[in-house]
Amino acid sequence: MSHALTLITFIPVAAMVIILSLPPALKDGAKWISAVAAGLQLLIALWIFHHFDTTTTAAQFVDKFAWMPTYHISYFMGVDGISVSMVLLTALICFISVFASFGINRAEKAYYALLMMLDAGMMGVFVSLDFFLFYIFWEVMLLPMYFLIGVWGGPRREYAAIKFFLYTLLGSVLILLAMLGLYFYGAQNTFDMTVLAANASHYTIGFQRVVWIALFIGFAIKIPAFPFHTWLPDAHVEAPTAISVILAGVLLKMGTYGILRVNFAILPAATHELAWLFLGVIGTINIVYGAMCAMAQTDYKKLIAYSSISHMGYVMLGIASFTAAGIDGAVLQMFNHGTITAMLFILVGVIYDRAHHREIAGFGGLAQQMPIYAGMTGFAFFAGMGLPGLSAFISEVLVLIGAWQTYPLMTVFAAATAILTAGYLLWTYQRIYLGPFNEKYKGFADLSFREGFTLVPLAIIVLILGVYPHAILGLLDTSLAHLNQVVLSTPASAIALLH
Amino acid sequence: MLQSVIFYALAAGTIASAAAVAFSRNIVYSTFALLGAFMGVVGIYILLAADFVAMVQLLVYVGGILVLTIFAVMLTQGIGDVTISNRAVGSVPALVTVAIAGAVMLYAIAHTRWHQAALHAAAPTTYGIGNAFLGDYVLPFEVASLVLLAALIGAIVISRHEARE
Amino acid sequence: MDHPVSISIVRYIVVLPLIGAAINFLAGAWLQKTFGKRIISVLGCGVVALAFLLAVREFFAMLALAPDSRFMLDSLWPWIHYGGLDIDIAFWLDPLSMVMTLVVTGVGGLIHIYSTGYMHEDESYWRFFGWLNLFTFAMLVLVLGDNLWLMFVGWEGVGLCSFALIGFWYKVYPNTTAGNKAFIVNRIGDLAFVIALYSLFAALGAVGHPTLVTREVAKYAPMLAGMPGYLGMTMVTFVTLMMFAGATGKSAQIPLYVWLPDAMAGPTPVSALIHAATMVTAGVYMVARMNFMFVMAPATMTVVAVVGGLTALFAATIGIAQNDIKKVLAYSTVSQLGYMFAGLGVGAFTAGVFHLMTHAFFKACLFLGAGSVIHSMGGEQDMRKMGGLRHHMPITFATFLAATLAISGVPPFAGFMSKDEIIWQAFAHGHTVVWGMLMVGAGITVFYMFRQVYMTFFGDFRGTHEQEHHLHESPPSIAYVLVVLGLLSVFGGLVKIPDFIATFKPFETFLEPVFSSPLTRQVVESGIHSRGTEAALGFVTFTMVVLGWLVADLMYRQKTIDPERFSAAFGGVPYNWVLNKYFVDEFYDFTVVRPYLAMTRALAWFDLHVIDGVVNLVATVTVLVAWLSGLFDSYVVDGLVNAASLVTLDVGGRLRKLQTGSINGYLYGILAAVMVILLVRAMLRV
Amino acid sequence: MDLGNYASLAHFGPELVLGGGILLLVILDLLMADKRRLGDIALLIAVVALLLIAMEPVTPGAWLFHRMLVFDSFAIFFRALIALAAIVAIWMSIGSEEVLGCDQGEYYAILLASTFAMFLMAESANLLMAYLALEFVSLTSYILTGFLRHNRRSLEAALKYLIYGGVASGTMIYGMSWIFGITGSLDFTVINHALTTPGALPVLAVFISLVLILAGMGYKVASVPFHMWAPDVYQGAPIPITTFLAIGSKAAGFALLTRFFFPALSSLTAAGNWQALKGVDWPELLLFICMITMTLGNLAALQQSNMKRLLAYSSIAQAGYALMGFVVLSNDGIRAMLFYLFAYYVMDAGAFLVVMIVANSTGREDIDAYRGLAWRGGIVPAVALTIFLFSLTGIPLTIGFIGKFYLFAAVIRGRFYLLAIVGVLNSVVSLYYYMRPIKTMFLDTPNGDEGAVTVDFWNYGLMGVLACATIVLGLYWAPVLAFATRSMHFFTGPV
Amino acid sequence: MSGAVGLDHYLVLSLIIFTLGMFTVLTRRNAIGILMGVELILNSANINYLAFAYYGGARYDGQIFAIFVIMLAAAEAVIGLAVVLAIYQNFRTIDVGATENLSG
C-alpha cells in the first residue's frame, strides 16, 4: 500500500460517488456502502498504525506530487506522530458514526453521500502536509456539515447550521490570510509545511505574532475556545446524533491539531511568547467556564456540549505548558476526548430517539427500565470525569502534571474543575437514571444491538488506554518531543509566565 | 477686440440659455431655452474655427435632437394633461454641490498648464475632417454607422406600438 | 531496599477481586437468573477469600525474610513512561501494605460473607457483589500500588465504588444524593492530593529526580529539604499539607467529614466495609506511607495532630445526640479516624496504623451488628424504636457489646491497646492540647457507645408489635461473621501490648522497616519513654472511660438522670446544635453549594445572552448596517432632494412613500461621490 | 506595429464576423418564417467569432486602424470572455420564455451589436474609441434592457439605465476633454508619454479628470458609488440580458478600466509592479472604492428577497473583489483579477441560468419560489445553484475559491493588509446571503403552491457544463491561470 | 481676464455650462428634463474639445471627437425618446418619481 494516505482519504469520495449514482430503489444500499467504505478506512488506519515508525519525526507514508507548480502547491500527504493518532481517531469515529446514522430515514442517499464527503474532508486535514491542501480539506468539511445539521437536524437547525458555518468560515478566512502571509514572507515561497517549519526562524517576531493570532483565532473557533465557543452548543443540540459524534469526536480536534501543526511548528517564537495567554489562560477559562455552564444546562445534549468545551481546554492548557508531559497528555486528551465524547453523544441520542426530548428534568429512574444503557452511560460519565483506570485520567494527569510545572495557578483551577465536572455529571446521572422511575417511559427498550455495537468498541478503547496508554502515547512522543524542543529552543523576546 | 465682444456676447447668451434650462419651471420653456443654448454653442464653435462641427451641431442638435425633444414633450404631456410641469426638486443642495465642484474645477483650470501649440489659421475644416474619416478615423466612422443602425432598430422595436391585446 | 524481592504473586491478590467484579458485571445478571444467587455468592466471596489466602501466604513468606528486606515488588507492565513520569503498573508489598492487605481481604472477606445473608433478598444481588469485589480490587490497588499515581487510581476507584454502593438502592432519590455528596466531597480532597503529587513531581524534577514511585520518592525526598514551595511554605510542608488535605476528604476529617454520615444511606455491609474498616482509613494509610515526608514538615505534623484531635472530639460530641443506629456509628468512625490521625500527627505512626487495624475489627463488628439489628427490625434504624433486643438476638448483642468495650478502650480489648497508645503518645510527644481533646473524646465515646447499647439492647421494646413479632437472631452467615469479628475485637489487640504491662510488640517490630527513615526514627523516639508515665496516663484515660460509662448508665439504663432535663438545663441550645450536627451541612449548603449553583446559572445566562449575544449583536449590527446602507441607497440622498419639495408634491393628495429607486438619488450618488473625493483631495493638496 | 486600415483587417476577423452577423440577422429576420431559428444562427455567429479569437496568434501585439485599436493578448482574453458571455446569453435566450415573446431578429442583432461594441471596448487604444465603444455598449444595453416593451419593469429599468448612463458618459467625456487638453492627444500611449515626461504635472487637473472618467468606467463595472443603476437594471432586464450585462458588460468595463489606468497612466517596473503617476493618487481612491464596493454590495445584498436583485448586489460585491487585483498595482494583481473575472463568468452565469430556469417554470424570481426546491423535483438545479453560490462565496473545490485565493495572495503580497481584512470580512458576510437561497432550497420544505421545476435539455446541458466547470476548474485551474498569465501583457509601442 | 480671449475663457464657459447641466440633471424629476441636462453637459465637453483642438494644435482629433459626441448624443436621444414614449404608453406619465416599481 504505497498510497495508503491517498486511499484512506479518497475511499469515502469513491463511496460518495457510488452512493450518488445508486438508483432510488437501492437507497438502503447507501448505508452499507458507507459502512464498507468506513470499514476499509478503519482497516487502512490500523495498517498505518501498525506500520508506523515511532522513532522518527519525519513524515511517513508520504504521497507527493506537484499540483500547481506555479504557486508551489503540491499534493503532499504524510503523517507523523501527531497526525497518525488523529487519523486513527477519525477512521474510528467515522466508522462508528456510520452505524450511529442507521436511524436516519429521510433522504438517505444525500445523507450518506454528505457523510462520506465529511469523512474525506476530515481525513484530508489530518494527512495533508501541504498548507494549501490542508486548507482545502479544512473548508471542504464545512459544506457537508452545514447540510447535515441543516437538513437532518432538530427544530432550530437552520440557525445552528448557519451559525456553525459563519463562525468557522470566519476562522478559515483568517487562516487563509495567514497562510498567504507565510507563503510570501517565508524563506522560500512554498506551502510545504515541513519546509515552512524548517525555515521557521526566517520570520520576524512581529510578523509571527500577527500571523500567530490570526491562525489562533481560526483554530480557536474550531476548538472551540472561549469566547468563540457559542456555536458549539447550538450545533450540537440541533445536529443528528451521528453528526454530533463526528463534531465532538473529530472536528474539534482539528483546532488543536492545527495549532500544533502550524502555530507550533511554523511560528515557534510567537508560540513561545503567546502561548501562555492564548492557550494557557484561555484553555483554563475553557475548562472552568465550560464546566460551570454545563452545570446549569437543562438540555442533556447541551450539557454534554459544554462539557466538551471544558475538556478541550485541557488540550490547550497541555500544549501551552511546553513540557513533555503536558504536550503528550494534550494530544492523548484529543484522542480520548474523541472517544469518550463520541460515546456520550451516542448515549444522548439513544434516549432522544426514544423519548424525543432531552430535558433532563423530564427523566428519572431510567436505570430501572434500561439498565444496560444506564450502566454504559455511567461508564462514559466516569470516563468523562477522568476516573483513574480510564483513558481520560491518563491524559488529564499528564496535562496537569505538565502544566503545573509551568503555570501552577492555572493548573489549580484546571484541576479543581475535576470537582465541578464530577458535580454536573453525577447530578445529571442522578436526575436521569436514578431515583423513582418515571412511568411515562415504561416500555422503552434497552440498548439495541446496533447501539451497543457503536458503544462497546469505544468503551473498550477507553478502558485499554486507561491501563495501556502507550498504545497512543508511543505514536506521539517522538514527534511531540521534537516539536516541543523546537519551540523551547526558540528564544522568545519576552516570555511572560504566570507563576 | 471684436472677437472678444463676440465671445462675451455668445458666452452670455449661452449661459443665460443654459441657466434658463436649468432653472425654468416649465419644460416647454426649458426646451426653447435649450435651443438658445445650442445656438450659442454653435457660435462658440465658429469662434473656435470649427465650421464643420458647428454645422453638424446645427443640423443634428437643433434640427434633430431638439425637434425630437419638443416632439416628445408635446406628445407625452401636451394633450389632456393639465399641468405641463418641469418640477424641480432640491435646488439648494444641488446648487451647493455643483457650486463647490465648480469652484474646485475652476481652481484646477486656473492652475493647469494646458497643452498649447501655435494657432492655426482659421481655415475650413470640412475637407480635413472628411479626409480623416476615410483615413485615420475610418474605423470609428464605420462603427458609428453600426451604432446608428442599432439605435434605429432599437428605437423602432421599443417604441413600436403594434396592435395587440 | 534497592533490590526488592521480585515476585509475581501479588498481582493475583489484586486481580482476583477484579475478575470477580468483571464476571459479575458482565454476566452477573445472567448467572443469577440462570443458576441462582448461590453462584454469585460463591464467586463474590470466593475471589476475596482466595485473595486473603494468598495474602496470608505472602505474609508468611515475608516473615521468612530478614526484616530489612521485607519488600516485594510485582511489576506488570509499563504504564506511563512519558514526560519523565516513569511509572509502571506494579505492586509493592511491604509490612505496611501487608497489614492493609490482610485487613482489606480479611475483614473485607468476612463482610462479603456477611453480605450473602444480609443482601439475600435483593434483586440486584449480582450488582452488589460486583461493586463489592470492585471495591476490594480498588482498595488493594490503593494499598499495593508501587507509585503514587497507581495509589491514586485506587484512591479514586474506592471513591467510585463508595459512590455506587451508597446509592445502591438508587430508586430512593436521597440515597443517590448521598452518593453524589460522598463522591464530590472526596474529589475536593482529591484535588489537594493531586496538587500534592504535581508539586512533589515538579519539585523532585527540579532536583533532578522526577519520580512518583513511592520508594524512590522516599529515597530522594530528603533532597527537598529547605526547598521553597508555594504560598510561603517550604515545598515539603506544602506537599504534605496538601496530601493531608487529600486525606481529610477520604478519611472524613474536619472539614470534609460531612459526607460520611450521609453515606450511611448505603446497605450496612457497605458501611462496615467501606465507611468503617477500609476506605476511610486510606488517608491514614497514605500519611503513614508518606511518613518520611511528613516528618520533614513539623508544621504539617502539628496540623495533622490537631485536626485529628479536633475531629475526634468534635465528631464524638455529635455522636451523643444521634438516634439513628448507623449515624452514631458513622460519627464514631469519624471520631476514631481522628484518633488515628492524631496518632500519626504526634509521631506515633505505629499506633495510628495499629488503631486502624483494631478499628477495622471492632467497627466492622459494630456495623455488622447494627446491620443485624436493622435486618431483624425490618429496616428500622431509629434507636428510639428499639430496646431490649438482647433477649431476641443474643449473639448480636454479645458481639456488639464486645466491640463496644473495644472501642471504649476497656482493657484488654483491642481498642484499648491501640487507642490508649495514641492518647499517651500524644502526651509523650508534648501535644498536651491534643491529648486533652483525645481524653475528653474517649470519655464521650464511651458515653455514646453505651447509650447506643442501652437504647438498643436494654430496656423494653419500643417498636410496633409487628416488628416485635419479627425479631429474630440473624442467619448463620451473619452470626458467624459477627462472632469472628467479635473475637477479633477482643483479642486482635494483643499483638502490641502497652509497655507498662508487658513487653510484647510484634506488630511494632513488623512495621519498623516502614518507619525506618532516620528522621522518622528521630521523631518517633523523641517522646518521653517512661513506663510510669504511661501507666499513670493509662489510668487517667481509664477514669474517663469509667466516667463516660457511668453517665450513660445513669441516663439510659437506670434512667436516674433524664437526658432531656439535662439538656434543658443548658437551655437546649447545645443539644440542639449537637443534634443538628452544628449545622455544618447547612453552612456548607449556604456558603458553597448554593452560591456555586447560582453562579453557574449566572454564567450560563452570561453565555447565552452576553457572549452569544455579542455574536448575535454583530450579526444584528451587520444587518442593521446593511439596512442603513440600503436606506442610504434609496432614501437619504433622495430624501434630501425631496425635503424641499415634499409639501408641494403632496398637495395633489398623492401620498406616496419616498422615492425609492428614483433616478435623482442615483445621480446625487455620483456627484456627491465625486464632490467628496474632490473636496478631500483639495483639502489635502491645497 | 502600426497597422493601416487594410492590414488591420487580418486581426479584425471576429469583429467582422459579428458585424456581418448583425446585418445577416436583420436580413434573415425579414426572410425567414421560423424566427426561432434566428437564435441558433446568432449562436453560430458568436461561436465562430470565439473560434476566430481562439485562433488569433499571440504576437507581441499591434495597433490596428491607425492606432484606434490595440491588438494584444490582453485584448484576446477579454474578447474571448465577452464572446463566451455572448454565447451563454444567446444560449439562455433561446431557452428563455421571456425572450421568446420579443422580436427575435432585432433582439439577436442588437445582442451581437452589443458584443461587437464590447470587443471594441476591450481593444480601444484611444480615448475616442473608448468613448465610442463604451457608448455603443451602453446604447445597445439600453435597448436590450427595455426589450420587453410591454413589461413595466423592463422599460423602467431601460429609462433609468439610459439616464444614468447618459450622465455618466457625459461626465466621462468632460473628464476626457481635460486629459486631451493636458496631453494634446487622445492616444493612450501618447497620453502616457506626456504625463510621465518629467515636468510639472498638473496634479489636480489630472486627478479631477480621472475622477470624472472613473464615473463613466466605474459605471460600466458597477462599482460604488456608480453602481446604483445595477440592481434596478438587473432586475428589470430579461434574465439572459441581465446575465450578459453582469458578465460581459462588466468584463468589458474591467478591460477598459485596466487598459486606461495601467498602460495609459502608469509605468511598469522591472519587478512586475506598476508605478502610478507621482502625486496623482488614484490608487488610494480606487482602493477606497474597492473596499466600499464590496462592503456595500454585500451589505445591500443581505436585504434582498428577489434573486435577480440579490445577484445584482452580489455582482457589485464581486466587482469589488475583482478590483482588489486592480488596486494592488502589480502584475500579480492583474493576473488575479483576470483569473477572477473568468471565475466570476462561470459562476455568475451559472447562477443566473438557474434563476432563469426557475423563472421559466414558475414565473417567479423571489426567493420564496425556491422553497424546498431540492425536495420538489428540482434537485439538479438546486445542487447546481448551490455549487455556483458556494463558488461565489469562495469555498474550496470551486473556481471561486481559487479566484479569491489569487486575489488575496496578490493583496497579501502587496502588503495591503487592511484590504485583506476587509475582503475577508466581506467573504464571511457574503456567506450569509449566499446561503439564504441554499437554505431555502434544502432546509425549508415546500409549501405546495410553488410550481414544479422542469429543465429542458439545452438548459440542462449548459447548467451541467457550467457546474462542472466550476468544480473541475476549482481542482485543476492551471489552464485558466496560464491563460490569465499570458494575457497580462499590454502592447505599448513607441509614441 | 483681460485682453484677447484665450483658452481659459472657453474652459470657464464650458465649466459653467457643465455645472448648469449638472444642476439640471440633479434637480429635474422629468426624464426629458434630465436628458436636457445631459445635452448641456455634452455641449460643454464639446466646447472643451474644440477649444483644446484650436489652442492645442491637434485640430482634427478634437473636432472629430466633438462630431462623435454629437452623433452619439443623437443616437442616445433617439433611444431615450423611444423608451420615454414606450413608458408613456404604459404608465401615462414620465415623472421619474412614478417609476418606483423597482425599489430596494
| C-alpha dihedral sign at C74, C75, C79, C85 | positive
The dihedral over CA atoms of A325, A329, A332, A333, expressed in degrees to the nearest 10, equals 180
Q: Do A and E count as touching (3 or more CB pairs closer than 8 A)?
A: no
For cell 443469577, name the residue. C32
The amino acid present at B30, given as its one-letter code, is: S
Yes or no, beta carbons of C671 and E27 under 8 Å apart = no
Yes or no, beta carbons of C667 and D164 under 8 Å apart = yes
C-alpha triplet E58, E63, E67: angle, nearest 5°: 155
For cell 449515624, name the residue. C327
Looking at the partner chain, which of D110, D139, D182 has a beta carbon nearest the beta carbon of B112?
D182
pLDDT digits (tens, 9 = 90+) for C454-472: 988 888 888 888 888 888 8
The CA-atom distances, in angstroms, between C665 and each of A155, B85, C634, E5 are 44, 20, 7, 39
Which residue stretches of chain D have pLDDT < 70?
A: 1, 495
For cell 498595482, name the residue. D329
Whether residue C142 is predicted with pLDDT greater than 70 in this model: the reply is yes
Q: Could you tell me if C593 lies within 8 Å of chain E, comparing CB atoms?
A: no
If you write DSSP's letter for every residue of A79-137 in order, what string do you get?
E-HHHHHHHHHHHHHHHHHHHHTTT--SSHHHHHHHHHHHHHHHHHHHHB-BHHHHHHH
- A491: preceding bond cis by omega (within 30 degrees): no
Confidence of residue C484 (pLDDT cuts 50, 70, 90): very high
The CA-atom distances, in angstroms, between D13 and each of B143, D49, D89, D113, D134 are 15, 8, 21, 15, 20
Whether residue B163 is predicted with pLDDT greater than 50 in this model: the reply is no
Edge-first strand order for the sheet with C85-93 is C5-6, C72-82, C85-93
Q: Which residues of E are less than 8 Å from D495 in CB distance?
A: none
* Residue of chain D whose alpha carbon sits nearest to that of C667: D164
In terms of Cα–Cα distance, which of B57, B53, B55, B20 is closest to B36? B20
Q: Using CA atoms, how far apart are residues C211 and C197, in angstroms rounded to an integer? A: 10
Per-residue model confidence (pLDDT) at position B84 = 36
Yes or no, beta carbons of A293 and C83 under 8 Å apart = no
* Residue of chain E whose alpha carbon sits nearest to that of B24: E24
Whether residue C642 is predicted with pLDDT greater than 90 in this model: the reply is no
Q: Which residues of B are less than 8 Å from E26 in CB distance?
A: 90, 94, 97-98
pLDDT digits (tens, 9 = 90+) for C179-223: 999 999 999 999 999 999 999 999 998 888 888 898 889 889 888
* Chain D interface disruption, residue of C616, C620, C625, C633, most D CBs within 10 A: C633
Helix axes A300-320, A282-295, angle to 10 degrees: 160
Q: What is the DSSP letter of D71?
A: E
Helix axes D36-54, D73-94, angle to 10 degrees: 160
Looking at the partner chain, which of C89, C172, C205 has a beta carbon nearest the beta carbon of A405?
C205
Per-residue model confidence (pLDDT) at position C679 = 65
Looking at the partner chain, which of E5, E8, E68 has a beta carbon nearest the beta carbon of B140?
E68
For cell 482489606, name the residue. C104
pLDDT digits (tens, 9 = 90+) for C98-128: 999 999 999 999 999 999 988 888 888 999 9
pLDDT digits (tens, 9 = 90+) for D83-107: 999 999 999 998 888 888 778 888 9
Structural element, H or E, at residue A187 = none
Q: Could you tell me if D171 lies within 8 Å of chain C, comparing CB atoms?
A: yes
pLDDT (mean) for C318-341: 90
Listed by number, the residues of chain C in 465-484 with a beta carbon closer than 8 Å to a beta carbon of chain A are none
Confidence of residue C402 (pLDDT cuts 50, 70, 90): very high
Listed by number, the residues of chain A in 144-203 with a beta carbon closer than 8 Å to a beta carbon of chain C are 163, 166-167
Per-residue model confidence (pLDDT) at position A48 = 93
Yes or no, beta carbons of B147 and D136 under 8 Å apart = yes
Domain parsing of chain C, residue ranges: 297-530, 583-656
Q: Using CA atoms, how far apart are residues C552 and B61, in angstroms rounded to an integer? A: 129
Looking at the complex, report in whole angstroms how far the Cα of residue C657 sits from the nearest Cα belonging to chain B: 16
Q: Using CA atoms, how far apart are residues D128 and D130, in angstroms rounded to an integer? A: 5
Confidence of residue C24 (pLDDT cuts 50, 70, 90): very high
Whether residue C636 is predicted with pLDDT greater than 90 in this model: the reply is no
* Chain C interface disruption, residue of A226, A230, A478, most C CBs within 10 A: A230
Q: Using CA atoms, how far apart are residues A314 and D8, in angstroms rounded to an integer? A: 73
pLDDT digits (tens, 9 = 90+) for C381-395: 888 888 888 888 889
Yes or no, beta carbons of B93 and C641 under 8 Å apart = yes
Q: Could you tell me if C671 lies within 8 Å of chain B, comparing CB atoms?
A: yes
Confidence of residue C645 (pLDDT cuts 50, 70, 90): very low
pLDDT digits (tens, 9 = 90+) for B9-27: 999 999 999 999 888 877 7
The 3-state DSSP class for residue C74 equals strand
pLDDT digits (tens, 9 = 90+) for C492-534: 888 888 877 878 888 888 888 888 888 888 888 887 777 888 8
Q: For E52, phi and psi rounded to 5 degrees?
A: -65, -35
Q: Using CA atoms, how far apart are residues E34 and E21, in angstroms rounded to an integer? A: 9
Q: What is the DSSP letter of D68?
A: T
Beta-carbon count within 10 A of D31 CB: 7
Which residues are CB-contacts of A117 (< 8 A; sequence separation ≥ 6)? Answer: A12, A13, A16, A140, A143, A144
3-state helix, strand, coil in chain A (%, to 5): 75, 5, 20
The dihedral over CA atoms of C523, C528, C533, C538, expressed in degrees to the nearest 10, equals 0
Does residue A455 or residue B118 have the better pLDDT? A455
Per-residue model confidence (pLDDT) at position C666 = 54
Query: Please, where are the H alpha helices in chain E?
Result: 7-27, 31-56, 59-91
Which residue stretches of chain A have pLDDT < 50?
A: 493-499
Beta-carbon count within 10 A of A420 CB: 21
Domain parsing of chain B, residue ranges: 1-81, 125-165
Q: What is the CATH number of domain B1-81?
A: 1.20.120.1200
Yes or no, beta carbons of C670 and D171 under 8 Å apart = yes
Per-residue model confidence (pLDDT) at position C602 = 87
* Residue of chain E whose alpha carbon sits nearest to that of D129: E65
C-alpha triplet D308, D252, D295: angle, nearest 5°: 50
Chain C with chain D: Cβ pairs closer than 8 A = 66
Per-residue model confidence (pLDDT) at position A375 = 92
The 3-state DSSP class for residue D453 equals coil
Per-residue model confidence (pLDDT) at position C644 = 27
Q: Could you tell me if C607 lies within 8 Å of chain A, comparing CB atoms?
A: yes
Does residue C126 or residue C666 have the better pLDDT? C126
Per-residue model confidence (pLDDT) at position E102 = 47
Listed by number, the residues of chain D in 364-403 with a beta carbon closer than 8 Å to a beta carbon of chain A are 375, 390, 393, 395-397, 401
Per-residue model confidence (pLDDT) at position A438 = 83
Helix axes D229-236, D307-327, angle to 10 degrees: 130
Per-residue model confidence (pLDDT) at position C282 = 92
Per-residue model confidence (pLDDT) at position A498 = 37
Least confident window among A94-98, B95-99, B159-163? B159-163
- B110 in Cβ contact with E9 (< 8 Å): no
Pairing verdict, β C5-6 and C72-82 = parallel
CA-based max dimension of chain C: 125
Per-residue model confidence (pLDDT) at position C664 = 57
Question: What nine digits make up the cell of A285?
Answer: 477559562
Q: Which residues of D are less than 8 Å from A142 in CB distance?
A: 395
What CATH class is the domain E7-92?
mainly alpha
- C424 in Cβ contact with C533 (< 8 Å): yes
Q: Could you tell me if A217 lies within 8 Å of chain C, comparing CB atoms?
A: no
Listed by number, the residues of chain A in 154-193 with a beta carbon closer than 8 Å to a beta carbon of chain D are 157-158, 161-162, 165-166, 169-170, 173-174, 176-177, 180-181, 183-184
C-alpha triplet C314, C162, A372: angle, nearest 5°: 155
Looking at the complex, report in whole angstroms how far the Cα of residue D438 sits from the nearest Cα belonging to chain E: 22
Q: Using CA atoms, how far apart are residues A309 and A285, in angstroms rounded to an integer? A: 10
Which residues are CB-contacts of C23 (< 8 A; sequence separation ≥ 6)? Answer: C31, C43
Whether residue B69 is predicted with pLDDT greater than 80 in this model: the reply is no
If you write DSSP's letter for every residue of A375-419 in order, what string do you get?
HHHHHHHHHHTT-TTSHHHHHHHHHHHHHHHH-HHHHHHHHHHHH
Q: Using CA atoms, how far apart are residues D212 and D207, in angstroms rounded to an integer? A: 9
The CA-atom distances, in angstroms, between C670 and each of A425, C661, C663, D168, D341 are 63, 15, 11, 8, 25
Per-residue model confidence (pLDDT) at position C575 = 77
- C536 in Cβ contact with C439 (< 8 Å): no
Q: Please list the residues that pair with D70 across neighbouring strands.
A: D63
Listed by number, the residues of chain C in 623-652 with a beta carbon closer than 8 Å to a beta carbon of chain E are 630, 633-634, 641, 649
Whether residue E3 is predicted with pLDDT greater than 60 in this model: the reply is no
For cell 488529564, name the residue. A396
Domain parsing of chain E, residue ranges: 7-92
| C-alpha dihedral sign at A141, A142, A143, A144 | positive
pLDDT (mean) for E55-62: 80
